[in-house]
């Protein structure tokens, strides 16, 4: 992520933390909401405008740049030890996923069969694993980037393949697909590179939307699985018809 993109992402995060919408920010800046949205979507900020937004957020411009730098240093991949400890304790893995998605402590306790004492201990353990920075009153700062990746061929990737992806492709009775599309064909190397680049961009956009929605209450958000996959493959039905 570029430096300006990181600064903008940090600004969005600060706005959410303070419960400030584009509309309320526009009012504070004496601008139209449309112009504020355009400013963020185009990442078009003068230093003067950045300073004005920082004044609204009650932080110094230098603090914004420091926060952006700290955000850029987030972990994009867990260690083998971190993955192993998460897999050994399903509740620890659950809480790790929740904090990555911006859940509040009270939301975790209300939604799952985990009492306050156990939840506190789980957060403390995530702190020791350097997955979060535990703050007073069970607040925390996530140290994991939204677009982090499992270790290739590692324990969590194997778990995802065996326990998640197979079940993901087999919905329970009555569950509906929000979107499902399958495409196969024979592509050139350049076309494959284009597809991969666009899929990577989509994952980044989805991760950013997840960050932006974290300020919303749980009843305004729904669990959603998004699986993007591409590999050399031919259906066995066709493969079995090949000439020797």
pLDDT tens digits, one per residue of 49-85 = 989 999 998 888 888 887 777 665 667 788 888 899 9
Distance (Å, rounded) from C-alpha 24 to C-alpha 129? Answer: 38
pLDDT band at 2; cut points 50, 70, 90: low
pTM of the shown model: 0.61
pLDDT at 192 over 60: yes
Q: Give the strand pairing for 140-142 and 132-134.
A: antiparallel
pLDDT band at 127; cut points 50, 70, 90: very high
How confident is the model over 159-180, as a mean pLDDT?
83
How confident is the model over 152-157, as a mean pLDDT?
86
Cβ proximity of 219 and 107 under 8 Å: no
The SS3 assignment for 84 reads helix
Nearest alpha-carbon partner for 77 in 129, 146, 149, 126 = 149
Q: Which pLDDT score is estimated for 130? A: 87
Give me the long-range contacts of 157-163 (CB less than 8 A, separation at least 24).
Answer: 159/87
Distance (Å, rounded) from C-alpha 208 to C-alpha 204? Answer: 6
In this predicted model, which residue has the larger pLDDT, 241 or 28?
28
pLDDT band at 188; cut points 50, 70, 90: very high
Task: Give the domains, in start order, of the chain with CATH numbers.
Answer: 3-72 (1.10.260.40), 75-220 (no CATH)
Q: Which pLDDT score is estimated for 91? A: 94
Give me the long-range contacts of 168-177 (CB less than 8 A, separation at least 24).
Answer: 168/225, 168/227, 169/227
Distance (Å, rounded) from C-alpha 115 to C-alpha 122? Answer: 11
Q: Which pLDDT score is estimated for 93? A: 92
Q: Which pLDDT score is estimated for 27? A: 92
Structure tokens given for 74:
């987030």
Instruction: Work out the number of other CB atoms within 10 angstroms of the CB of residue 226.
Output: 11
Q: Which pLDDT score is estimated for 146? A: 63
pLDDT at 147 over 70: no
DSSP letter for 190, please: H
């Amino acid at each position: 992520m570029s430096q300006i993109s990181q600064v903008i992402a940090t600004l969005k995060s600060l706005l959410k933390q303070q419960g400030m919408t584009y509309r309320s920010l526009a009012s504070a800046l004496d601008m139209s909401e449309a112009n504020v949205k355009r400013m963020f979507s185009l990442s078009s900020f003068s230093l003067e405008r950045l300073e004005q937004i920082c004044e609204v957020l009650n932080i110094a411009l230098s603090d914004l740049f420091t926060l952006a730098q700290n955000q850029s240093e987030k972990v994009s991949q867990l260690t083998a030890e971190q993955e192993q400890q998460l897999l050994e304790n399903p509740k620890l893995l659950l809480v790790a996923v929740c904090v990555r998605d911006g859940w509040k402590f009270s939301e975790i306790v209300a939604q799952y069969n985990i009492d306050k004492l156990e939840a506190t201990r789980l957060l403390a353990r995530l702190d020791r694993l350097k997955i979060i920075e535990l703050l007073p009153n069970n607040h925390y700062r996530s140290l994991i980037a939204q677009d982090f990746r499992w270790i290739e061929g590692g324990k969590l990737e194997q778990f995802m393949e065996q326990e998640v992806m197979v079940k993901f492709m087999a919905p329970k009775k009555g569950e509906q697909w929000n979107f499902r599309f399958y495409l196969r064909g024979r592509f050139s190397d350049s076309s494959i590179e284009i597809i991969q680049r666009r899929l990577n961009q989509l994952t980044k956009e989805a991760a950013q939307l997840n960050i932006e929605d974290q300020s919303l209450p749980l009843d305004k958000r729904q669990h959603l699985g998004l699986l993007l996959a591409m590999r050399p493959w031919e259906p066995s039905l066709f493969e079995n018809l090949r000439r020797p």
